[in-house]
Amino acid sequence: MLTAANKLFWLRVVFAIFAGLFSGIMNFSNESALFGVLTIILFYLLSYFIGKYYIFSEKNVSNSSLFTTGMGTYIMLSLFIWIFYYTLHVSGFL
């Protein structure tokens, strides 16, 4: 059985994959890389609000733990997916 914290963590893993793929597909690179970073931040904020109002709606949880749960994994995975997709795209594999 998944706890609420585990649900939030796995939600952020899925959102990191989507944010990284979206940034790669939209070809955010060089001058437009800021838009890719902003996309990743917006997906993270969306996961925060989903966690606050849906996953932890009945529970008392501190905002700091709600904000930091899975943050490192989210950042590293979204950047990895973005860079990996971009590398495959530039090499002509995709």
Q: Which structural domain, as residue segments, surrounds residue 80?
A: 4-90
- Please, which residues have CB within 8 angstroms of residue 71's CB and are 6 or more apart in sequence? 12, 44
Given this model, what pLDDT does residue 93 score? Answer: 84
- Confidence tier at 75 by pLDDT (50, 70, 90): very high
- What does the pLDDT look like over 17-73, one tens digit per residue? 999 999 998 887 777 888 989 999 999 999 999 999 998 887 788 888 888 888 999
In the chain, the number of structural domains is 1
pTM of the shown model: 0.89
Question: Quick one: pLDDT at residue 49?
Answer: 93
pLDDT given at position 11: 95
